Amino acid sequence: MNENDRLLRDFGGLFLRIHRLVDRRMAAEGASLARTKLLLYLQKHGPCRAADIAELLGATPRTITEAIDGLEREGLAVRTPHPTDRRAKLVSITANGERIIEATEPLRAQLADMIFERLDQGERDQLTAILAKLSEALNDAEPANICSSL
């Protein structure tokens, strides 16, 4: 195993551990990480097609459609006609969805503090720079397609 393979394995393993920890802690507080992630995505990127969301989150279209159905039933998201593609619908976060994001923010902040508290400011700055470089490398390999369906 070369150094890059080891780094990828270690980074991936750390990501999965963080994901599991956050998921368990949010579930213990009655929140859903999957639902919160989808709402945060809609909040950040605005109206999107379900197919675009599925591609970007690495989920199957069926999984995302079912998740959106649930959000819609709870009044947290809404589907509207696509302005140029009459076959497609755009998914947007609602005011109730925004309130859910706001309600989970303290828990998310607490978890982020717990995870990153061992890093001093210089290390956090270095990590931010490293993550930006890795993001650039990924964009070079596969450009982000953030809700380009509009």
Which pLDDT score, from 0 to 100, does residue 141 have?
Answer: 80
- Residue 38 falls inside a structural domain: yes
pTM to 2 decimals? 0.75
The DSSP line for the chain is --HHHHHHHHHHHHHHHHHHHHHHHHHHTT--HHHHHHHHHHHHH-SB-HHHHHHHHT--HHHHHHHHHHHHHTTSEEEEE-SS-TT-EEEEE-HHHHHHHHHHHHHHHHHHHHHHTTS-HHHHHHHHHHHHHHHHHHHHHS---TTTT-
- Residue 26 falls inside a structural domain: no
Q: Tens digit of pLDDT per residue, the chain (150 long)?
A: 899 999 999 999 999 999 899 888 888 877 788 888 899 999 998 899 999 999 888 889 999 999 999 999 999 999 999 999 889 899 999 999 999 899 889 988 999 999 999 999 999 999 999 999 998 888 888 766 556 544
58 lies in which domain range? 31-141
Q: How many domains does the chain have?
A: 1
Helix 50-57 and helix 61-73: axis angle, to 10°? Answer: 120
Which pLDDT score, from 0 to 100, does residue 149 have?
Answer: 47
- Residue 2 falls inside a structural domain: no
- Residue 43 falls inside a structural domain: yes
Question: Which residues are CB-neighbours of 8 under 8 A, at least 6 positions away?
Answer: none
- Residue 8 falls inside a structural domain: no
- Residue 25 falls inside a structural domain: no
**CATH number of the domain where residue 124 is located:** 1.10.10.10
- Residue 13 falls inside a structural domain: no
- Residue 7 falls inside a structural domain: no
Which pLDDT score, from 0 to 100, does residue 150 have?
Answer: 47
